[in-house]
Amino acid sequence: MKTKQIITAYAVTIILFLCCPAFLNRYWVDVLNNVGLYAILGLSLNVILGYAGLFNMGHAAFYAIGAYTAAILNTKFGVPVLLLIPVAGVFAAVFAAVVARPIIHLRGDYLLIVTIGMVEILRIALINDLFGITGGSNGIYGIGRPEIFGFKIKKPHEFFYLIWLFVAITVFFFNRLENSRFGRALNFLREDEVAAEGSGINTAWYKLLAFILGAFWAGMTGVLYATKMNFISPESFNFWESVVIFMIVILGGSGSIMGVILGAFLVVGLPEVFRDFANARMLFFGAAMIVMMIFRNEGLIPPKPKKFVLDA
Amino acid sequence: MKRIFILALALCLISTGSVFAAGKTVRIGLMGPMTGPWASEGQEMKQVLDLLAEDINKAGGINGMQVEVIAEDDAGDPRTAALASQRLSTRDVVAVVGTYGSSVTEATQTIYDESEIIQVANGSTAVRLSEKGLNFFFRTCPRDDEQGRVAAQTIKKLAYKNVAILHDNTTYAKGLANEAKALLVKEKDIKIVFFDALTPGERDYNTLLTKLKGSKPDVVFFTGYYPEAGLLLRQKRELGFTAPFIGGDATNHPDLVKIAGVEAAKDFYFLSAPLPKDLPSAEATSFVKGFEAKYGNSPNSIYAVLAGDGFRVVVEAIKNAKSVKSNDIAKYLHTKLTDFPGLTGTISFNEKGDRVGDVYRVYRVDAAGNFILQP
């Protein structure tokens, strides 16, 4: 009975949400697009930070690899953007595998510092026009728009459906992941690494897989960003961007899908809501963050403890 | 209950932003970095525009219509800027002045163009911006290639042989350094002995300066911003490194002398559009006077003054085209506006929307730390 009500509540919210663009102007729809992008990024980091408990502060690096892969392949070789989504994901995943393998055994704060180094190195490499293909500090301009059966997605209203469709796919997959053997293994090694290893979980391998999966997803999001902005430059992928994604996961409740989505709404949406305070808007934003962290220090919606019902 | 309250609060905040003021007003947007690393630029851009709008409104407005400046924060970041421009495009503005960084402007160009809003950039010097054939894009700052040309010319005129070029890897500084390098390489008797970047924001550049000194340049052309330029000047003096420095227009800021100290800043050359105080026109002098009276200091940043010029050309175009339609304003700016007396010299635009004519002047810092226009 109760689950039925919850399902109807979800369905009504989703339908209302999908009708949003009809009532909102370009600006607010675009804010929602940004929220969507960061929700996907947050969910992809959630695999690494939330499920596996690995402090990765360099998530913007994977996002950047995806965006740049798409930008270069699209502008130089004219590959359609939508086809590039998985390709860019693979590039980011390979990058993550190569970079994360030697650092995977580091714990907590040490890993955090190494990943900060990684995102900075990548940003500086992009500025220095690596291999002469990244456009240096000017970035890359003229990235194509996605096209579905001859229909070109251009306006914020149209991007809204593309981005939120991707959010829905992400939520579906990660929800399945949470309840899989893989997801449970990650949770186990987050809670107690020694016990996990003792139970036969190859911790290094699972941690690496978490990194690869998170990077794959972030890389795909990079493509959406690149095609939406139709221009990318290294400053879009700086250290601050990693902090924002990190904040979304921690604030919303690490390990909880609904929490991360709510986190994206707050971290990306609030500064826009506070726009009328002009110069003081970041002050309000910071104060709001502090208050939330004091009162909900596990995140706004922490993951529920898992229940396993035994058949009588 | 708490949740409902928060939701209600959020809705209130959203709705206050979209209330439209009725009546005969012309809305001109300002998109600038009000927060973030370039906040001081954005704040001053707003001060300049507020002052100019106030003056116009006191004098009866544009053809009887009052002007309203609507400022939006782009935080110096492309993603935020895209949102800021979406927001401005829904707020019924005729034109938008701004913004400062080139990559930030680039992220907003298509949005303004699709919404048919005039954009007059004030600090975006990257060449590519005006090569896209956008009808509604203008800029009051000259392009990097123009400044590179003037820099190369100045170095040639001062008869330096071994040139060191130093940039800081930002879009603007690197662009300018590349433009200047490309021109100087062509000269037979000029040799580039050093070409590298520093990391902005550091406190100690002694290692770099020692390396620079080892390359024995006759002159160092630094294309970065004033905080680093000030430190470089101070530390090079302490090192006993005597080669003169030339800076790009991002070094044109009174704080340069404060950071470097008067002795170290002496004989530093820089290129810049003329400062309002050096212009004989009545507009420039009255602007400086008005600014000092209102804010207690003369304008610090040349880019803020260039934003003021952007505002003034839009006002002029609305006045003379007798229209607030983007097409009419753009047509007026492209074809009819010639030698408009701006705060930074005369202004005309070519068909790409770039400012034409010789804008750059060479300045020298004198023994008292004043910026002296060189003939």
For testing contact with chain B, the best of A31, A243, A279 (most B CBs within 10 A):
A279
Inside any domain, residue B4: no
Below-70 pLDDT ranges, chain A = 1, 278-279, 312
User: Region B144-162: what's the mean pLDDT?
Assistant: 88
Instruction: Report how far apart, in Å, the C-alpha atoms of B245 and of each of B166, B202, B227, B234, B301 are.
Output: 10, 19, 14, 12, 20
The answer to whether residues B123 and B171 belong to one domain is: no
Please report, to the nearest 10 degrees, the dihedral formed by the alpha carbons of residues A54, A59, A63, A69 taken in order.
-80
Taking a contact as any Cβ pair under 8 Å apart, which residues of chain B between 297 and 356 contact chain A?
none
Last residue of a domain, one of B225, B253, B272: B272
The answer to whether residues B153 and B135 belong to one domain is: no
Inside any domain, residue B368: no
Report CB contact under 8 Å: A25, B90. yes
The answer to whether residues B37 and B105 belong to one domain is: yes
The answer to whether residues B102 and B206 belong to one domain is: no
The answer to whether residues B168 and B95 belong to one domain is: no
CB contact set of B50 (below 8 Å; sequence gap of 6+): B69
The domain spanning residue B339 has which CATH number? 3.40.50.2300
Q: Tell me which H or E stretch contains A228.
A: helix A203-229
B16: pLDDT confidence band, cut at 50, 70 and 90?
A: very low
**Strands in chain B per DSSP E:** 25-32, 66-73, 95-97, 118-121, 137-139, 162-167, 191-197, 219-222, 245-247, 269-272, 340-342, 345-347, 361-365, 371-373
Inside any domain, residue B369: no
User: Region B65-77: what's the mean pLDDT?
Assistant: 89
Report CB contact under 8 Å: A30, B35. no
Q: What is the pLDDT of residue A312?
A: 61
The predicted-structure confidence for A162-206, as pLDDT tens digits, reads as follows: 999 999 999 999 999 988 999 889 989 888 888 988 988 888 899
What is the C-alpha separation between B360 and B353, in angstroms, rounded? 18
User: What is the count of structural domains for chain B?
Assistant: 2
Inside any domain, residue B204: yes
The amino acid at residue B88 is L
Last residue of a domain, one of B255, B272, B289: B272
Inside any domain, residue B334: yes
Asked whether residue B22 carries a pLDDT value surpassing 60, the answer given is no
For testing contact with chain A, the best of B19, B130, B174, B195 (most A CBs within 10 A):
B174
> b/e map of B142-158 (b: 16 or more CB within 10 Å)?
bbbbbbbbbbbebbeee
Classify residue A178 as exposed, middle or buried by CB count within 10 Å of its CB (0-12, 13-18, 19+). Answer: buried
What is the C-alpha separation between B353 and B130, in angstroms, rounded? 7
Alpha carbon of A259: minimum distance to chain B alpha carbons (Å)? 15
The predicted-structure confidence for B246-296, as pLDDT tens digits, reads as follows: 998 888 888 889 899 999 998 899 988 887 778 777 888 888 889 999 998
Helix (H, G, I), strand (E, B) or coil at B342: strand
The answer to whether residues B235 and B316 belong to one domain is: no
Inside any domain, residue B192: yes
User: Region B154-171: what's the mean pLDDT?
Assistant: 87
The answer to whether residues B39 and B90 belong to one domain is: yes
Q: What is the pLDDT of residue B10?
A: 54
Inside any domain, residue B15: no
Range of the domain at B104: 24-142+280-347
What is the C-alpha separation between B357 and B354, in angstroms, rounded? 10
Classify residue B165 as exposed, middle or buried by CB count within 10 Å of its CB (0-12, 13-18, 19+). Answer: buried
For testing contact with chain B, the best of A141, A270, A284 (most B CBs within 10 A):
A141
Domain ranges (residues) in chain A: 32-238
User: Region B4-29: what's the mean pLDDT?
Assistant: 58
The answer to whether residues B196 and B293 belong to one domain is: no
B359: pLDDT confidence band, cut at 50, 70 and 90?
A: confident
The predicted-structure confidence for B86-144, as pLDDT tens digits, reads as follows: 889 888 899 999 888 888 898 899 889 888 999 999 988 888 888 888 899 999 988 88
Model pTM above 0.90: no
The answer to whether residues B155 and B116 belong to one domain is: no
What is the C-alpha separation between B299 and A256, in angstroms, rounded? 51
Q: What is the pLDDT of residue B117?
A: 92
Report CB contact under 8 Å: A231, B107. yes
The answer to whether residues B151 and B60 belong to one domain is: no
Residues in chain B closer than 8 A to A31 (CB atoms): 83
User: Region B329-341: what's the mean pLDDT?
Assistant: 89
The answer to whether residues B177 and B150 belong to one domain is: yes
Inside any domain, residue B14: no
User: Region B229-234: what's the mean pLDDT?
Assistant: 93
